[in-house]
Amino acid sequence: MKRFRIVLLIFSVFISITASAQYSKVILDDPVKLISPTAKNFLIQKLNSNGLALDEYLDYENRCSYLFFTITSVDGEYIIKARDCEKVEIGKFSFDSDISLASEESIGKAVATEIIKIAEGNTEQSAAKDPSGVYTNHHDTRYYFAPSAYNLRKGQLYYNTLYFLVHDVQYGVTDNFSFGLGTSVGFFPAYVSPKFSKQVAPKLSLVAGDLFVFGTYTTNFYVNLFYGGLTYGNRNRNITISGGLLNSNQFTKTRGLANVSAMISASPFLYFVTENYFASIGYDIDAQRITDNNIDNSGFVSPEYEYKSFEGNQAIIGGFSGVRVISKKKDVQSFQFGFIYAIPLFTEYPYQLAQGNWTYNDGSLNRSLILPGISYTLKFGKVY
């Protein structure tokens, strides 16, 4: 019996040591800037004295040796949630907003104390999974191609490719401003895409930006879209409604474009993603050819008509719908699978003739286009 008790005691000590050694490293994401550099030094000292190391960058090969903490500010409180490598919440704690008035040493040590409790399994907080926001979505700044009102953090880099033919990078210049560049495999065309975004309410963020597409190899071609919009929800479940002004040297006048996009998390590694556009484009259709040959766009010969000008108006809806699959081993990378669609609603030809004006409407649904949509994304920098 005595021998059994000794074995049981040794086993208990082993289990205790194993449990405490399960987590040796900590990642702390502090977008609300609660912890200053000085407070961080005190936090690191206290963690180190308890066998925990605070890392700036994640070692993906040893991902499950980390505890991940995220600090948010909600209704006057600082909420700090902990999750494991499977993105399951294992604890949380909070501080009243008055903690910001405390000394930097007090702040650093207070946060470290709570982190140590969770790492040692001594927290009394609920460890229930919170599917609405406990895990970090590294792909919240974009749907398939359309932007949301969430921005990259300063220093983060986001790479995106469509069909592995179009390549795009976005860089976080500040926490609220990013700048993007993109082109195809053949470097035609190319585009730049600055974007500003800012949270204006607990579940509401504002975005404004520009997409300037231009031809390369001395081609005289450009399209510009200036846009603005709002994103409602959280970083895992949200909807974005935006609109913009579209102009080009290929159009006769500036036109409007509307967009509705959304993402919904089915799990930490699976999202439903959709983005949908409505645009109206005005353009000239070879008025000189029509005048010279007296042929309208339908091929009808009218020698008695004198065509003064010819302008077309094309209304179209299009977009992408599908799923985003996030890698479990490396959640900063993902694939998007679905379909891209483009449906011309109508094409309108207002002729200006010598004898007067006439409008021709062409139903164009038979020219709809649906294709498989595939993209790949990868995020770099301080991402957890």
Using only C-alpha atoms, the chain has a radius of gyration, in whole angstroms, of: 28
pLDDT at 126 (0 to 100): 41
Bridge partners for 265 per DSSP: 271
pLDDT at 135 (0 to 100): 61
pLDDT tens digits, one per residue of 160-194 = 999 999 999 999 999 899 999 999 988 889 999 99
Bridge partners for 184 per DSSP: 166
291: pLDDT confidence band, cut at 50, 70 and 90? very low
Cα torsion angle, 221, 227, 231, 235, sign: positive
pLDDT at 329 (0 to 100): 79
Residue spans per domain, the chain: 2-119, 157-380
pLDDT of residue 140 exceeding 90, the answer is yes
Residue 11 burial class via C-beta count within 10 angstroms: exposed 0-12, middle 13-18, buried 19 and up: exposed
16: pLDDT confidence band, cut at 50, 70 and 90? very low
Measured CA distances, 197 to 145, 207, 231 (Å): 16, 4, 10
Q: What whole-number distance in Å separates Cα of residue 375 and Cα of residue 158?
A: 13
DSSP-derived 3-state class of residue 106: helix
Bridge partners for 27 per DSSP: 68
Of 64 and 338, which is predicted with more confidence?
Answer: 338
pTM for the predicted model, two decimal places = 0.68
| Closest C-alpha to 223, from 232, 215, 213 | 213
Q: What whole-number distance in Å separates Cα of residue 305 and Cα of residue 298?
A: 15
pLDDT tens digits, one per residue of 247-283 = 888 777 778 899 999 999 998 899 999 999 998 876 6
Which CATH topology does 2-119 take?
Answer: Rossmann fold (3.40.50)
DSSP-derived 3-state class of residue 59: coil
Which CATH topology does 157-380 take?
Answer: Porin (2.40.160)
pLDDT tens digits, one per residue of 41-94 = 999 999 999 889 998 877 777 888 888 898 888 777 898 988 888 778 888 888
